[in-house]
Amino acid sequence: MKKKLLRRGFAAILAVLLCLSLLPAALAAGDPTIEVASVEAKAGETVKVTISLKNNPGITLMKLLLDYDESKLELVPATVELPNQATYENVDDYIAACRAAADPVFGDDVAWNKDNCWYLPVTESGKVVGLNWMYTYTSAPYGYAFDGVFATLTFKVKEGVAAGDVAVSVKFDENDKPAVVTNETGSGDDLVLEFADVDFAVTAGKVTVKGDEPAGVRGDVNGDGKLTSADAMLAARSCLSADHRMYKALTAEQILRADIDGNGTVTSADVMRIARACLSPDHRMYKALD
């Protein structure tokens, strides 16, 4: 009888997990995409968030504006003083000076070393609000098809920020959208280029602010000192009934124990990790909860 009940319990868990694991379809493989990374930190800590390009068709111009909650995150440093172009005899010297000024903001991961391509912070009264992309050209090709990390931003999570996710994303300046050259006429001083906008999909990232570690066994939702199918079921019920009208709400302590990834809420990902730990108590099949 005991074995039958145990099997039924695990069968119920697996059925719930199957429902919870359905994910939306991914972007088409060839879509130009800007991806912002997701990271974890506690209040008061600093983290690095990368911005990457994927399937870049060879853009010439682009202006990205940062989009994040300034009441919870602070860009480090938040300001940068760019040099005055009028004080430089040629554009190469000016760009080099701008890069030096921007290094504390964008760090070593910015692709300063890419031939003929430069990236500068967008500032308003010295405050960094975005990032410019510019490809300097004298002949075809007139764009740069660079894929990978092209900027790394450092954020500080402000003191007192509660556990949970803080979205970090980018948006486009309406007057400086990503563009590629579609046609050229003339040459030299008479060169005329025609541009077309490129629609980039944006995959937003997040900073998951982690709360204090719960007392007791991690994942032990019911607090009996061990991981069992009962813990997974409690966590799963909480996911299936977010408004708690079907099932009794978890207490604050239970939420801390069930919130394995520390993002402030109990999700299907937490349920999956608790269930896997139950199914393999000696952790030979699955990674142990940490």
pLDDT tens-place string over residues 144-155: 788 888 788 889
Q: Are 69 and 167 in contact (CB under 8 A)?
A: yes
Average pLDDT over residues 170-196: 84
Indicate yes or no: pTM above 0.75. Answer: no
Query: How many domains in the chain?
Result: 2
Do 134 and 241 belong together in one domain?
no
Q: Considering the domain boundaries, does residue 237 fall inside one?
A: yes
From residue 255, give the alpha-carbon distance in Å to each of 129, 161, 249, 262, 266. 36, 18, 9, 10, 7
Do 96 and 152 belong together in one domain?
yes
From 187, 209, 231, give the residue that closes a domain: 209
- Report d(CA 138, CA 9) in Å as an integer: 69
What CATH number should be reported for the domain holding residue 194?
Answer: 2.60.40.680
pLDDT of 156 > 60? The answer is yes
Longest dimension (CA), the chain: 88
Q: Considering the domain boundaries, does residue 111 fall inside one?
A: yes
Q: Considering the domain boundaries, does residue 99 fall inside one?
A: yes
Q: Which of 11-15, 193-197, 212-216 is the least confident region?
A: 11-15
pLDDT of 70 > 90? The answer is yes
Q: Considering the domain boundaries, does residue 284 fall inside one?
A: no
CA angle 236, 242, 246 (to 5 degrees): 80
Give the residue with greater pLDDT, 286 vs 35: 35
Confidence tier at 286 by pLDDT (50, 70, 90): very low
CA angle 117, 122, 126 (to 5 degrees): 135
- Report d(CA 16, CA 272) in Å as an integer: 10
**pLDDT per residue as tens digits for the range 16-25:** 444 444 434 4
Do 148 and 196 belong together in one domain?
yes
Confidence tier at 131 by pLDDT (50, 70, 90): confident
Q: Considering the domain boundaries, does residue 285 fall inside one?
A: no
Do 216 and 96 belong together in one domain?
no
Do 229 and 135 belong together in one domain?
no
What is the residue range of 219's domain?
2-23+212-279
From 209, 228, 248, give the residue that closes a domain: 209
Closest CA to 32 of 59, 51, 50: 59
Q: Considering the domain boundaries, does residue 194 fall inside one?
A: yes
Q: Considering the domain boundaries, does residue 290 fall inside one?
A: no
